[in-house]
Structure 1
Amino acid sequence: MSLQELGKTQENAEQETAGSIISEELNISAPGKLRIIKRNGKVVPFEEDKIKVAVTKAFLANESGNAAASERIHKKVEAITADVQKVFIRRMPSGGTLHIEEIQDQVELQLMRNEEYVVARKYILYREERAFERTKGIEKKSKIEVPAISVTKKDGSQVPLDIDRLASVVNHACEGLEDVSADSILEESIKNLYDGVSVSNMKAALIMSARTKVEIEPNYSFVTARILLDELRSEALSFLNIAEESSHPEMKDHYPLAFKAYIEKGIELEMLDPNLKTFDLDKLGNAIEHDRDYQFTYLGLQTLYDRYFIHYQDIRYELPQIFFMRVAMGLSVEEDNKEDRAIEFYRLLSSFDYMSSTPTLFNSGTLRPQLSSCYLTTVPDDLDGIFGAMKDNALLSKWAGGLGNDWSPVRALGSYIKGTNGKSQGVVPFLKVANDTAVAVNQGGKRKGAMCAYLETWHLDIEEFLDLRKNTGDDRRRTHDMNTANWVPDLFMKRVELDADWTLFSPGETPDLHDLTGLDFEKRYEEYEAQAAEGKLDQHKTIPAKDLWRKMLTMLFETGHPWITFKDSCNLRSPQQHVGVIHSSNLCTEITLNTSQEEIAVCNLGSVNLPQHMKDGALDHKKVKKTITTALRMLDNV
């Protein structure tokens, strides 16, 4: 028998199904059974007869066909098969799963140990031949299945599908990554193409084919990012008249050219600060490190593509490293040695060791360089002040600022209005307007507006304030898109512990409470309680402190709001006690700065990526020091 006949015989043996489907499943799941993973991924029961067939054919390939009935060969086959089986039983006495290749490896080994060297050699050559034929078969199959379709370009013209170009993109994307398959991505992509498919849909098919594999192997996230990067390069470079497309190695030469063209085009389109032209653009362009494009995962690059990269009529003409350089230039434009500072900032950002805040990434180097993260304001108790605060919110949100508003000074529902001889509708209707303002004025079209309203726990409208995020009740008195926070004094918690009463006031009658903290607050609050008991105050309400605390916790559990923040703790630890009282925190409750009706507090944020600063399982303090030194310089320049 020839080796080719042997190959067909063994391949058929591998593909046979043992018994019915039901009995096979029972055998596979039975404890103590050996199971085999075939090359197509199917799991079947271990069958020693198939080893006998394969070994027998190996001997027949080496000897004449008349040896089939030889007692000598029969005994050798039995012995070798038994030896192979013993190895696996000894290795997995309780049963387990083997790959078909493991069995064939063991057959080779046992042939050698039984001194059947010629047969073993022929068997090894046969396996190599079959492996080569399978590989060629797959390649041949993939080539045959490429459909003859046309691709529609942006100008409406059609060209044949360039399968070599697609293969090149995918192969470059998979380069240097383990456990990823370019062929599987390409094959899956081709299945989703059709005659006349647009260029954008063709690229989207590539991205989606790679993206669906991320949950199987995390490295596909890098593959997908690189495919998206190829699309971004084509989009940006063609817009800047540099090239129609570019591979990653070619970007080493294209980046400096694209950078200069980008600065010119951005200033021409009135999107970039003309002062950027005062930099030595050649020096900055040569400092760009194109290999850092390959650090992105898919989610990271897609987020930059959707929200951060500067675009004109939905065409992104800002590449990742140019994006980081633009941010660095905006932060260093006032520096004495601005090129060196820009390069220093660029290298820190592009290494992912440190990242500036979203407003800085959005606006640095543009005509509207609003780079700060959060703004804290106090809303005064008059219409001009209230709607002035609304205007401030709108303008700050327009340029990506997060908002923390202190609403405690605004008088409560039913309070007397001297100017009109009427009564106030309280703070809630104004909060509804503030909520809708944040929705209407998003952050530069890149993300939703975000704000948080703070109210002190003694405010007469506090009970309605607690209900603002509920999904039931009058929707005109609900703020579904705005965060809320309760500004709690220590005295309230003392009353809860003592199971005592708590009195609510309107700030129109108790205007100084909001500016008092600690013991001064407690003293003045108790004086107002005494006045209320004597009937000297028109608006007040006394409730058990525990009832209010219980409702606060109930709403926190039900809606996640209002957040509980502690007034006296924040003021006690404030390093700025000499310049005023802290009336609220910011949008994210991590910053506490003093505010007044005349002064807006601002916070500037940045993030140090600590995992990037680990060395041999410990924090690299030298690198952390270097990073923070540069990061603080960047924050100072905001």
Structure 2
Amino acid sequence: MPSFVTKPNNRQLAFDSERLGIYADRILEELNKIDKERLLRGVQSKLRRDVVTGEEISSAFTMSALELVTKEEPEWKFAAARALLTSLYKKAAVNRRYKSYPDQPYGSFYHLISDLCKSGIYREELLEYYTKEQIDELGEVIDPSCDLLFDYIGLLTLSERYLANDFEGRTMELPQERYMVIAMYLMHKEPTEKRMELVKEAYWAMSNIYMTAATPTMSNAGKKVAGQLSSCFIDTVDDSLEGIFDSNTDVARLSKMGGGIGVYLGKVRARGSDIRGHKNTSSGVIPWIRQLNNTAVSVDQLGTRKGAIAVYLDVFHKDILSFLDLKLNNGDERMRAHDIFHGICLPDLFMEAVEARGEWNLFCPHEVKKTMGWKDANGRPLGLEDFYDEEVGKGEFREKYQEAVDHPTLSRITMPAIDIMKRIMKSQLETGTPYMFYRDTVNRANPNRNHGMVYSSNLCTEIMQNQSPTVVEQEELVTKDGQTRIVISKIPGDFVVCNLNSIHLARAVPAGVLDRLVPIQTRMLDNVIDINNIEVLQAQYTNSQYRAIGLGTFGLHHLLALEGIRWESEEAVQYNDALYEKINFLLIRSSMELAIEKGRYPKFTGSDWDTGHYFTSRGYVDGSREGKFVTTEQWKELMGQVHENGVRNAWMFAIAPNGSTSIIAGSTASIDPLYELLSYEEKTTYKVANPAPDLSEKTIWYYKTAFMIDQHWSINMASARQRHIDQAQSFNLYVRPDIKATEFLDLHLHAWKAGIKTTYYVRSRALTIEECESCAS
């Protein structure tokens, strides 16, 4: 055993073995199933030097607890978290120069705000909008007991990625202070008379882990850093040299700020197309995708990771075959882009042709516009990508597609549709992508289709908002006051912005707090729109016109296990249907109430919200699909209120992947089934065991893992949810590497027919997939 303990101020004290027992009692308090003596034996085995530091003692407790984590004894992960928490408390106390006590581990909140604002770590708004008395009052609201909700992996992730450090990397901010600073910053523009109560309400939602903010908000809110608060963006590339390079510049600027990017390239001419009348001169979309790939690698996200970009292309584009091979590990490397993600946009007609083993035709979008002569109301040329089927089995897209097929001079490539589908599935099994985007399903359900078209999705396939390219109008020399400048004029397109946060279902639902929680989440998301400063002006403009948000959920499997509902059951399907209907009702009502208070979004008039089509098309108001938690009469009343008052947000509901933030919350990710009963987080020198959340003799029977589950049940649940989600869901398929082609095809056909708007990754045990951190709300 050691003889001395060195304190942070270099004082040496005699080692007292009894204090180890006192410390163990403190971190094991209320963890009744844990054997204190086993923990102490592990700690003592690690303290073999004559002189140890307090930090080494804390680390010994942490590591000893982690070594004892098993499926049978998952509580040890909370013991490890408390040991880590003690270490954080001590570091913050030393770095901020205050005395930390076990019953009062937090120091002066005002001093933290004041010091970090002065040093340039926090934003000045925290002192400009809040008085010392108000900050002291909020400091009194901070509840250190909420830190005990974290397990080890959650607390470690929060401390390593999100808490504010000083410029020397020293711990300054503690977990509950991070939540309070986020709340203060998101509410700082609210009216003075209600600001404090709204801050407290937002803090309540986050500190109790009833919800999580998206990674950019968690990381950047209240901090004076280069990052912004939105998760990701979607650009639509114009078919011009200026449009392509401008888009690449915009992507670079947003990637630098930490955003994930989706890029739709379906308007860019195909390989071999003409340029200014010169035949066979276009190199197609692949070189431009490779350029985006280089941008993703060279312009990293705030110096922490390479940029994350997804590119989308239509299945009727002539370059689709080379597009599908982008990420394969064999073939011509000049046609590969390994650091990019890709998605494919699929009309109903293609899926019908796959199922019927029919033919499919590929076209160049530039040639289609030049040859077919289709125009919009303003005389602008249209391509096949600008149409969709307004009803299942009929509509403008299939009519225009047939016109293109029948045109005598329009060039095309004809091949069996199933051959393209085979290429899609081959790539998915090898790389996890392409994502599937069912464009007719998406656009039929778009509540703002009167104002535009949805061509593709974002990096994580859950965002569905109107898109259009930004067009360079003119460039001219202008001389004013003796200064000559080059002035570039652009017509801004709809450049999509994703603002995300998510409900922790396994905490919020059992606690019965959804009615209180959803309104504050909606306000937090809406405030991001007004606070955010996005460098790309068309994105800022689009954000202000539609005010789109994306409230999501995570912990679904965790909740089902707590409720004793098996994943593969009709009960689970019905539970999804009823739960997500309730969340949707609360969300729409919250947005309507915000519209009364702050005004409706500018493009509300004529939308499906305004006309009521949103409600009638989903069977909410005709009594045909009465919900368990929301009655038809309640929906009718809300439909009338929305027509009268409007809604604040054009789109509201989107289920993001929630990778890192669900880890912080100690729950299952997004809408995914549990991956393993006992997973491992790899650290530099050791592995950390992470049992399933709330794993017990009761819940283990309801935690059937992802690769053991019949994916058709997952599709059924996703289908039930989709009716209530105005955007989409990051929905993964889990398959065996040796899955038969017919079985794999059946999954895709089922997802399409079930009305799911997108599928995200195809996950196989043979694949390691890097995910977008930005969307991990």
Under a length normalisation based on structure 1, what TM-score does the superposition of the two structures give? 0.70
Residues 144-203 of structure 1, C-alpha deviations (whole Å, 9 max, x = no match): xx244665x778887665655554433311112112233332331332235366665554
Larger Rg: 1
From 178, 183, 186, give the equivalent of 1:328. Answer: 183
Q: Letter of the aligned partner of 2:444 in structure 1?
A: L
Classify the secondary structure of the residue corresponding to 1:413. coil
Displacement of 1:328: 0.3
The yes-or-no answer on 1:208 pairing with 2:55 is no
Amino acid at match of 1:515: D
Give the aligned residue type for 2:196. Answer: E
**C-alpha offsets along residues 511-550 of structure 1, whole Å, 9 cap, x if unaligned?**
422212223222332233233xx3x34x532212221122
**Which of these residues, 554, 557, 567, is aligned with residue 426 of structure 2?**
554
1:171-186 aligned within 5 A: 171-186=25-40
Where do 1:365-444 residues align within 5 Å? 365-367=222-224, 370-418=228-276, 423-444=281-302
Q: How does 1:183-582 map to 2 (within 5 A)?
A: 183-195=37-49, 200-215=55-70, 216-243=72-99, 246-251=100-105, 254-255=106-107, 257=108, 259-277=109-127, 278-279=129-130, 280-312=134-166, 313-336=168-191, 337-367=194-224, 370-418=228-276, 423-445=281-303, 449-511=307-369, 512-518=383-389, 519-531=395-407, 534=408, 536-537=409-410, 540-582=412-454
Gaps of 5+ in 1: 1-145
Classify 1:438/1:190 alpha carbon distance in 2 versus 1 (closer, same or farther; 3 Å).
farther
Q: Which residue of 2 aligns with 1:52?
A: none
SS in 2 for 1:403: strand
Aligned twin of 2:508:
613
Kept in 1, the 8 Å contact 2:59–2:83? The answer is: no
Q: Deviations over 1:397-447 (max 9, x none)?
A: 333323221111122223333399882332222222323433444433455
Alpha-carbon distance in 1 for matches of 2:22, 2:253: 47
In structure 1, distance between residues paired with 2:509 and 2:413: 57
CA RMSD between the two structures: 2.6
1:637 maps to a residue whose letter is N
Q: Distance in 2 between matches of 1:268 and 1:383?
A: 46
Give, as a single letter, the amino acid of the residue that structure 2 aligns with 1:424. S
* Range with greater deviation from structure 2 (377-386 or 307-316): 377-386
Asked if the contact 1:149/1:194 (under 8 Å) is kept, the reply is no
The 3 A distance-change label for structure 1 pair 266 and 422 is farther
Measure how far apart 1:466 and its partner are: 1.0
Shift of 1:631: 1.4
Partner deviation per Cα, 1:553-599 (whole Å, 9 max, x = no partner) = 23223322112211111111111111111011122212211111122
Q: Does 1:600 align with 2:495?
A: yes
Which deviates further from its counterpart, 412-421 or 491-500? 412-421
> How many Å apart are 1:373 and its aligned residue?
2.2
Checking the alignment, whether the CA contact within 8 Å between 1:178 and 1:219 is kept in structure 2 is: no
Write the distance in 2 (CA, Å) between the matches of 1:515 and 1:154: 66
Contact 2:273–2:279 (Cα < 8 Å) also in 1: no
Question: What residue in structure 2 maps to residue 94 of structure 1?
Answer: none
Q: Is the contact between residue 353 and residue 610 of structure 1 (CA under 8 Å) also seen in structure 2?
A: yes
Contact 1:174 1:181 in 2 (8 A): no
- Structure 2: gaps (5+ residues): 370-382, 390-394, 470-492, 529-777
Matches of 1:160 and 1:439 in 2, distance apart? 53
TM-score by length of 2: 0.58
Give, in angstroms, the shift of residue 263 of structure 1: 0.8
Instruction: Report SS of the residue matched to 1:315.
Output: coil
Task: Quote the sequence identity (%).
Answer: 35
Q: What is the identity, as a one-letter code, of the residue corresponding to 1:275? A: E
Q: Aligned partners of 2:238 and 2:48: how far apart in 1? A: 62
One-letter code of the match for 1:540? R
Letter in 1 for 2:432: G
Moved more, 156-165 or 552-561: 156-165
CA contact (8 A) 2:268 2:284 kept: yes
Cα 1:326–1:572 change in 2 (3 A) is same
Flag the structure with higher helix content.
1
Matched, 1:626 2:516: yes
- Separation (CA, whole Å) in 2 of partners of 1:160 and 1:443: 48
Quote the offset at 1:483 in angstroms.
2.1
Amino acid at match of 1:573: A
1:184 to 1:441, Cα distance in 2 relative to 1, 3 A: farther
Contact 2:65 2:76 in 1 (8 A): yes
SS in 2 for 1:564: strand
